[in-house]
Amino acid sequence: MNKMTKDMIGSWFCRECGDDVKEEGTQWHTDCDHRLIPRNQVKVEGIDKPKQQEKGKDENKKRTIKKVKGKILEYFVESVIVDGQPSFLCCKLDTNELSIKKEIESEDKIFRPVEATECGYTPYQFTNSEIINAAKNRINKEKLLDETKRLIDKFIVVNELAKHLILGDIALSYHQELVNTVHYPFFVGETESGKSSAVHLFRHLGYRCLYGDDIPNADIYNFLGIDEEGAGMIAEDEAQDIAKNRDKIKTYKNSYSRGSLKARIVTTSYSKTQVFYKTFCLKVFAGERIPDDKGFRERLAVVNMLEGSPESNIKMLTDQEKTELLQLRNAFLLYKMQNLSSDLSKLETELKQRDRELWEGFLQVVHGTKYFAKCMETAAFYTNQRHETIWNSLEARIFKLIKHNLTQNLDLRLEEFWQYLINEQDILSGVTEKETFFPHDFNSKITRNYLSKLFEQKFYAKRKSTYRTDTGKKHLMTAYQFNTEIISTLTKKYNVTDDVVDDLALDATSGEGGGSGQLTFGFEAKADHVDHVDDLKEAKNTDSETKTEQTVVFDKSLYLAELQPSTAKDEKVQPSMDEVTSQNFEDLSSPGRYAIICKTCDNAGPFRIIQDKKTADFHKKHELNYLTKNDWLLIYPEK
Q: Give residues with Cβ within 8 angstroms of 176, minimum separation 6.
A: 182, 207, 229, 230, 233, 280, 281, 282
Helices (H), 105-239: 128-136, 141-155, 160-172, 195-205, 217-224
Q: One-letter amino acid identity for 293?
A: D
Q: pLDDT tens digit string along 448-501?
A: 999 999 999 999 999 988 777 766 677 778 899 999 999 999 998 888 875 433
Strand segments (E) across 386-517: 411-413, 430-433, 436-439, 462-470, 473-481
Q: Are 55 and 28 in contact (CB under 8 A)?
A: no
In whole angstroms, what is the distance from residue 216 CA to residue 203 CA?
18
Can you give the pLDDT at residue 20?
56
Phi, psi of 296 (to 5 degrees): -65, -40
Confirm if 35 and 8 have CB atoms less than 8 A apart: no
The contacts of residue 602 (CB under 8 Å, 6+ apart) are: 608, 635
Instruction: Determine the distance from the C-alpha atom of residue 512 to the mean position of all C-alpha atoms in its chain, rounded to a whole number.
Output: 27
Return the pLDDT at 530.
31
Instruction: Tell me if 145 sits within 8 A of 171, measured CB to CB.
Output: yes
Q: Of 491, 514, 496, 542, give the one whose Cα is nearest residue 380.
A: 542
Report yes or no: 556 and 579 within 8 Å, Cβ to Cβ.
no
Beta bridge partners of 413: 479
Order across the sheet with 209-213: list the strands. 209-213, 233-237, 283-287, 184-188, 300-304
Distance CA 611, CA 629 (A): 18
Give bridge partners of residue 304 from the DSSP assignment.
Answer: 188
Coil, helix or strand for 611? coil
Strand order in the sheet with 109-113: 63-67, 109-113, 104-105
Q: Residue 280: which residues within 8 A CB-CB, separation 6 or more? A: 176, 229, 230, 255, 256, 257, 258, 259, 260
For the question of whether the overall pTM of this predicted structure is more than 0.85, the answer is: no
Longest dimension (CA), the chain: 119
Q: Give alpha helix (H) positions in 36-91.
A: 50-58
Q: How far apart are CA 526 and CA 542, in angstroms?
A: 10
Task: State the angle between helix axes of 141-155 and 195-205 in degrees (0 to 180), rounded to the nearest 10.
Answer: 150
**68 neighbors 79 (Cβ within 8 angstroms):** yes
Strand-pair partners of 113: 67
CATH of 141-391, one of 3.40.50.2020, 3.30.70.240, 3.40.50.300, 3.90.1640.30: 3.40.50.300
Q: In one letter, which amino acid is 232? A: G
Q: Identify the pLDDT of residue 37.
A: 55
Positions of the chain with pLDDT under 70? 1-60, 470-472, 498-639
Beta bridge partners of 237: 213
Where does residue 475 fall: left (phi above 0), alpha (psi -120 to 50 degrees), or beta otherwise?
beta
